[in-house]
Amino acid sequence: MNANRLLLWMSAKAFGSWIRYKAALDELLLNAESEIGEDSDRPPINGQAFPIYHRVRQNLERLGHAEFFRQDFSSGWRVVPPILATCSHDSYFVGILCGARTDEIMNRISACCADLNLEITAQPECPDRVQVMARTQSQLQQLADRASLFFQPDAPRMLLAAVPPIDNYQLRKSSELPFGSDWDVSRFSTTTLGWTISTVGAARQSTFGLFRFSARFQPRYYLKLNGNAFELPVQTGKYIVVRKARRSVLSYCAESKTLCMPVTCRPPLLIDRALTLCSGLISELDGGILKYRNIDGEIALATFRLLRQ
Amino acid sequence: MPILLVLILIAGISLSAVATRSLRRRRTRSFSAEDSTDLSTEGVPLEPSEGRKLTPSDNEIRRRVAGDEAEESRWSAAQNGMSAFSDPEVNSSQSVQLVNHTVSADPQTSNISPDNSAEAKADIDLSHKSSVETQHAQLASLVDELIETRIETEPDIETFAVQNDTPPSLSSVAESDTSVEGAFGDQAAVIPHLEQPSIANGANSRDVDSFQDLESQQRGEPALLTDEDQISFVLEIQPETSLIMDDALSVTKVPEKKSRPPRKYIPSIRTGETTQTQRTERSVDVQSRRTRPFSMRVRMVFRTRKYQFSLLPERADDSAEELEVIGTNGTELWGAYQDEWYQEVIPNNFGDLLKEGGVWESSDGQLRWVLSGREIYVLAPDLSISGFVQSGGLVLGEQQSVLCVSSQQDEVLNALLKAGCSDPLPIKDKGIPEGWILFTDLRPLLAIEHQNEAGLYNILRPSYDFKIEFVGGIRLNRSTWLVGHPPSIRVLGASDSNIDVFIDGQTARLDAEGSYTASDWDTEGRHVVFSGGISQSYELANGAEDWEFFDAYRYNQNSRVQDAISVCGPAILPAKSDKHLLILPRSNRCLIGALPGDIVVAPPPLIRTPTFLAQSNFDVVWNLPADPLRCDKASSRVRLIRPIAPSPTTHFSDQQHRRAAIRWYQIILDASRKGLRVDPNSEEANKLWLDYKRKARALRKLLR
């Protein structure tokens, strides 16, 4: 059993609650795997402590199959309609199947791909990558039309163009620091790129910094900017403080078309999704360094700009 | 002569009515407050009169009494304004269930209601203990009468007891093996046999915690009734009379609701007497009650090299997705985990709770979950959820686990060995609740007959009983699987491998993996599997296929709110459906359409990237620099987006359209004047650009 069955289940249900998702993962995935790693009810504190529910959830989000915990379904998920997301490489175009997946969709794609190169690649804790390669984008568009898929040209570029830079006001909301002193407070260190123990008082007095307030394993992240507090996604906050410290954490190798960064500085979700869609594969983790493959120079440049690196 | 006959008939009816009223008065009087006071001065043994046996003629008396009770109930209901009793079809059993208001045996000291009959019973017992000793002789005949009434109302008394979460009668346990696990899970409420009233054997309605009473009853020895028992019994078997008392005493004080301890587990003993009919009747009965009971099951999962135990609250289809529940940990919020279950509960004092049991109740009081305490649990894989879930007993040939208290280790070990489990090893640590021991990887191979005297250990005696199960596949809900991913059909616990299994009436084949298949068994629709007198159905259905885009993320590209962009998975969509989204080189911010006036100049992007997103509300044909006269001629291009011929329109409805048309032709002519090259540099693209330039010149002449 792999995550393909989970995606089939999610596609059949279209939407649901987080609890149902966990139960389905239990039933479909965990029966075939001996252990799940960690207490499933404990939300992740850092990247390495994720239980499988969250690991699979993040992978589904990165690959654009489903969205979790958004405004209309704050404690649930929804499957994205089936989309052929394309991106251009030097001399060819690649289409990655994202979103809902059914046996019928797979049959239609197989039937329409007679003159194209269809590849199905398994990857751990993710649905298989379904990739179609063509010489022109119009071939992919025809495939999408015949297989009744939504066609998204230049998906990585479009995504990066749609996302505001990390310091944009839209990515944070003004907030007060949590009331009371019964919180475990940590501060993100730009030196170690990790969390150091802090106090509520220090967070309140600070004029700048990224703080994590945890109570009963429910972390919340606050950016202090000019003495004001803002709640924001943790990865966005990390890049803001890293930028303020004038520290560069991204590196790009044009030769191997690889974009690298420390695992603690994983980019915010939509940028992560754009980089993932360049290859259709989840980033590799190699000695604490995340590596994204098949990244064109233009995509890398946009990523640097968005992350203010 | 006919007149004489009529008169005789009328006289007979009158006499009968008088006798009936007399009978009613006697019963009524025996429960009135006045009489209960009188009881203290007289000493009569409260036992059936000696040698009292049920005879066929008793049936006739029972019918009459039942009829009287129904009439009485209707009358009482009318007095109390209870519309439920106005139904002419109402019978005594219904009246028992519908009794739901205050009853007082002694207006000064105690109140009794069916909702807390246990406490009420205790109150009555205390207040009248001395009086009972003096009342036995007078009440002997009354008890006989009540025996008959009990016979008539026995099932409902049990319902009454279950509803109030009081233990079932000992007699019903001994004489009936029909539990209501289907509706109660493991609550072990027991349905008695009507034909074998417990009182006939001399048993009472006491708690069944003690197996000594059970054993004595099985030996045919009538258990002696204590005084308290007798009083309790009399009160318990006469719920209808509560109405009469209530009315007579005019007491309306409602007692406070108290939580009662959960009942002890009584295993379902499979001795072949169980009938499907009784189960069904009970289930319907349960459904009609005000408080819906559900089972709370123990679940065990092996995670990170240790066992994790939790409790799984059962869930009905129509239960709420989220529920506030008051339980052993105080008030909790439960979310639906699956169609069948709410999310796991991990109580603080888990070991004690397993032994003593626990009760959880929704904050509105309409739903109740009961874990009946016990010392041995059998845990088996469950189709609906991973791990091992508490089951009714060991099943032949299946991998199971047994959890027991430390003091039962030796007995359980012996029982497991007798059931053919090879080398069961007790485990103490690894997350197992304190004071408990786990035996895992048990696969019983030998069937052992159930015996009443074995009591709780019967659950460690696998029988030849088997069940049809659906394993694996992609399950959409309770009994529906996704087409193309059906479950494996297995027959578990069957001792005979050559058993006949039918799917939709066709003989099924057993494949190498132990699953049964037949032709068209995996097609869309409902299918029924039948084997050995039991059937189980499953359905194969298609899932959703009408997914819709939604706003997972929405960002403004600039200060214009109408230019918001929505992101859904890898799809990037304009927030407004009438807009078109394009990714353009940073140098070209102007979009031109086929209609003169179709022109948009996008604001500068937020970051300095080679490309940016622009939106238009028309089909874009050309993409130009925003200011062609001031661009870098070497790098700037006139980009063809979609080849559409220029519109011949020359009429502009208002000044705004006219100004837009002027901008439209100006920017085309500026690009032409600058000599920007067309991209792609094809003959078709160049020809189209020439057409647009001509159209622009014509417009300039027209609008000048």
A43 and A88 together in one domain: no
Q: Which residues in chain A touch residue B555, judged by CB atoms under 8 angstroms apart?
A: 162-164, 170
Domain that holds residue A204: 173-231
User: In this predicted structure, what is the pLDDT of residue B233?
Assistant: 33
User: What residues 239-268 of chain A have any CB closer than 8 A to a CB of chain B?
Assistant: none
Judge if A75 and A98 occupy the same domain: no
pLDDT (0 to 100) of residue B339: 81
- Kindly list the residues from chain B whose CB atom is less than 8 angstroms away from the CB atom of residue A64: 569-571
Per-residue pLDDT averaged across B97-119, rounded? 35
Let me know whether A70 and A94 are in one domain.
no
What's the pLDDT at B625? 92
CB contact under 8 A, B557 and A162: yes
A99 contacts B547? CB cut-off 8 A: yes
Residues of chain A with C-beta less than 8 angstroms from the C-beta of B550: 67, 70, 72, 78
Q: Which residues of A touch B304 (CB under 8 A)?
A: 35-38
Q: What token pair was written down for B327? A: 């339980």
Residues A69 and A110 placed together within one structural domain of the fold: no
CB under 8 Å, gap of 24 or more: what pairs does A214-218 form?
A214/A45, A214/A183, A214/A184, A214/A185, A214/A186, A215/A178, A215/A182, A215/A183, A215/A184, A217/A42, A217/A43, A217/A45, A218/A43
Find chain B residues with C-beta within 8 A of A67's C-beta.
Answer: 550, 552, 568-569
| Residue B620: predicted pLDDT | 92
Residue with tokens 């016979």: B151
Q: Is A5 an 8 Å CB contact of chain B?
A: yes
Single residue among A37, A60, A79 that ends a domain in this structure? A79
Confidence of residue B97 (pLDDT cuts 50, 70, 90): very low
Are the C-beta atoms of B443 and B398 separated by less than 8 Å?
yes
For residue A42, pLDDT over 50 is answered with no
Q: Please tell me whether residues A9 and A75 are part of one structural domain.
A: yes
Instruction: Give the tens place of pLDDT for each residue, B586-634.
Output: 888 899 999 998 999 888 887 888 888 888 889 999 999 999 999 888 8
* Cβ neighbours of residue B286 closer than 8 Å, sequence gap 6 or more: B162, B180, B183, B184, B292, B293
Residue B372 pLDDT = 86
Considering only the beta carbons, identify the residue of B482, B546, B569 that sits closest to A83.
B569
Q: What would the pLDDT profile of B662-695 be if each residue is shown by its tens digit?
A: 999 999 999 999 999 999 999 999 999 999 999 9
- From A251's Cα to the closest Cα of chain B, the distance in A is 17
Q: Which residue has the higher pLDDT, A145 or B26?
A: A145
Q: Which residue has the higher pLDDT, B71 or A276?
A: A276
A17 contacts B336? CB cut-off 8 A: yes
Out of B64-68, B252-256, B330-334, B643-647, give the one with best mean pLDDT. Answer: B643-647
Least confident of A290-294, B219-223, B633-637: B219-223
User: Looking at chain B, which residue has its C-alpha nearest residue A152?
Assistant: B571
Query: In what order do the strands lie in the sheet containing A93-98?
Result: A117-121, A129-134, A93-98, A83-88, A150-152
Contact A5 B474 (CB under 8 A): yes
Among A residues 99-138, those touching chain B with beta carbons less than 8 Å apart = 99-100, 102-104
Q: Is A41 part of any domain?
A: yes
Domains and CATH numbers, chain B: 27-249 (no CATH), 291-460 (no CATH), 467-541 (2.60.40), 548-578 (no CATH), 582-703 (no CATH)
Token code pair at residue B557: 């590209």
Domain boundary among A121, A153, A185: A153
3-state secondary structure chain A: CCHHHHHHHHHHHCEEEHHHHHHHHHHHCHHHCCCCCCCCCCCCCCHHHCCHHHHHHHHHHHCCCEEEEECCEEEEEEECCCEEEEEECCCCEEEEEECCCCHHHHHHHHHHCCCCEEEEECCCCCCCEEEEEECCHHHHHHHHHHCCCEEECCHHHHHHHHCCCCCCHHHCEECCCCCCCCCEEEEEECCCCEEEEECHHHHHHCCEEEEEEECCCCCEEEEEECCEEEECCHHHHHHHHHHHCCCCCCEEECCCCEEEEEHHHCCCHHHHHHHHHCCCCCCEEECCEEEECCCCHHHHHHHHHHCCC
Encode pLDDT of B223-232 as tens digits: 333 333 333 3
Query: Is position A224 within any domain?
Result: yes
The count of structural domains within chain A is 4
Short-list A230, A225, A233, CA closest to A209 = A225
Q: Is the whole model's pTM more than 0.90, yes or no?
A: no
Q: Is residue A241 part of a domain?
A: no
Length of chain A: 309
Is position A237 within any domain?
no
Asked if A70 has any chain B CB less than 8 Å from its own CB, the reply is: yes
What is the bridge-based pairing of β-strands B677-679 and B637-640? parallel
Amino acid letter, residue B154: E
Chain A hits for B544, Cβ within 8 Å: 11-14, 100
* A116: CATH: 3.30.70
Q: Is A84 on the interface with B (CB under 8 A)?
A: no
Residue A240 forms part of a structural domain: no
- CB-based burial label for B610 (10 Å; 0-12, 13-18, 19+): middle
B474/A30 touch (CB, cutoff 8 Å), yes or no: no
* Angle between helical axes of A297-306 and A269-277 (0-180°, round to 10): 180
**A94 and A74 share one domain:** no
Q: For residue B292, what are its two tokens?
A: 């819906």
Report chain A residues whose CB lies below 8 A from the CB of B485: 5, 8
In a domain, A103, yes or no: yes
A302 part of a folded domain: yes
The predicted pLDDT at position B3 comes to: 62
SS3 B348: coil
Q: What pLDDT, in 10s, does the model give residues B24-51? A: 444 433 333 333 333 333 333 333 333 3
> B539: distance to nearest CA of chain A, Å?
15
**Distance between CA B492 and CA B489 in Å, rounded?**
10
Whether residue A300 lies within 8 A of chain B, CB to CB, comes out as: no
Looking at the structure, do residues A63 and A91 belong to the same domain, yes or no? no
The CA distance from A33 to A262, in Å, is 29
Indicate the residue of B546, B608, B609 with minimum beta-carbon distance to A161: B609
Segment A253-268 mean pLDDT:
95
Query: Kind of pairing, strands A150-152 and A83-88?
Result: parallel
Question: Which of A38, A50, A159 to probe by mutation at the B interface, max B CB count within 10 Å?
Answer: A159
* Contact (CB<8Å) B547/A168: no
Residue B549 has pLDDT above 90, yes or no: yes
Q: How high does pLDDT run on average in chain B?
A: 67
Tell me the nearest-neighbour CA distance from A259 into chain B, angstroms. Answer: 17
- Given an 8 Å threshold on Cβ–Cβ distance, is B567 in contact with A19? no
Query: Nearest CA to CA, how far is B310 from chain A (Å)?
Result: 13
Mean pLDDT for chain A overall: 89
Query: Would the CB atoms of A27 and B609 count as touching at under 8 Å?
Result: no
- For residue B183, name the pLDDT band (cuts at 50, 70, 90): very low
Residues A149 and A89 in one domain: yes
- Taking the Cβ of residue A92 and every Cβ of chain B, the question of whether any pair is shorter than 8 Å is answered with no
Query: A-chain residues within 8 Å CB-CB of B545?
Result: 102, 104
Question: Which of A26, A57, A79 lies at the terminal end of a domain, its last residue?
Answer: A79
A60 in a domain, yes or no?
yes
Same-domain status, A71 and A8:
yes
Tokens representing A202 are: 């220090």
Q: Which residues of B61-75 are buried (b: 16+ CB within 10 A; e: fewer)?
A: bbeebbebbbebbbe
Helices A52-62 and A269-277 cross at an angle (nearest 10°) of 70
Supply the pLDDT for residue B160: 30
* Most confident segment among B419-423, B546-550, B556-560: B546-550
A82 chain-B contacts, CB cut-off 8 A: 547
Inter-chain touch B609–A5, beta carbons under 8 Å: no
- From first CA to last CA, the distance across chain A in angstroms is 41
Query: pLDDT over 90 for what percent of chain B?
Result: 22
Helix (H, G, I), strand (E, B) or coil at B275: coil
What sign for the dihedral angle of Cα B48, B49, B55, B61?
Answer: negative
